[in-house]
């Protein structure tokens, strides 16, 4: 975590949680700030979102049910799919046309 003003990592906890937001202060420049609410999504909510995603429910529906913003959910999904290795079928197909292409690539 860095100060949004001077980018210092010298951040101290500056008080309790109000409306679900944790307050912080920068020791270097004195700037006070709260974490973005999007950083406060609990792991339970993320697990629930993961389950709902498997049900092929529209993102807008999931966002309403779980209580997160559609914007955050879209970013979450994008990040999630980026981190999943792409599954590539490397088994050679026994089709004449494709076989010829593969031979061409190898030569
Ligand atoms: Zn600062």
Per-residue confidence band for 89, with pLDDT thresholds at 50, 70 and 90: low
Res 34 pLDDT > 90: no
Give distance in angstroms: CA of 79 to centre of ligand 1: 28
Give distance in angstroms: CA of 20 to centre of ligand 1: 23
pLDDT of residue 93: 61
Per-residue confidence band for 1, with pLDDT thresholds at 50, 70 and 90: confident
Report, as an integer, the average pLDDT of 50-66. Answer: 92
Give distance in angstroms: CA of 33 to centre of ligand 1: 10
Res 98 pLDDT > 70: no
Domain positions in the chain: 1-36, 41-107
Per-residue confidence band for 41, with pLDDT thresholds at 50, 70 and 90: confident
Give distance in angstroms: CA of 16 to centre of ligand 1: 20
Give distance in angstroms: CA of 24 to centre of ligand 1: 10
Report, as an integer, the average pLDDT of 62-91. Answer: 83
Q: Count CA atoms closer than 13 A to 17's CA, side-chain side.
A: 7
Give dist(CA 100, CA 105) in Å, integer.
9
Neighbours of 41 (CB within 10 A): 17
Higher pLDDT, 100 or 35: 35
């Amino acid at each position: 975590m860095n100060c949004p003003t001077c980018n210092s990592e010298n951040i101290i906890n500056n008080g309790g949680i109000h409306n679900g937001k944790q307050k912080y202060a920068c020791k270097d420049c004195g700037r006070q700030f709260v974490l973005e609410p999007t950083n406060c999504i609990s792991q339970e909510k993320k697990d629930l979102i993961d389950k709902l995603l498997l049900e092929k429910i529209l993102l807008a529906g999931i966002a309403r049910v779980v209580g997160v913003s559609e914007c955050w959910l879209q970013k979450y999904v994008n990040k999630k799919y980026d981190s999943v290795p792409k599954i590539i079928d490397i088994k050679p197909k026994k089709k004449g046309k494709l076989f010829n292409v593969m031979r061409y690539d190898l030569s």
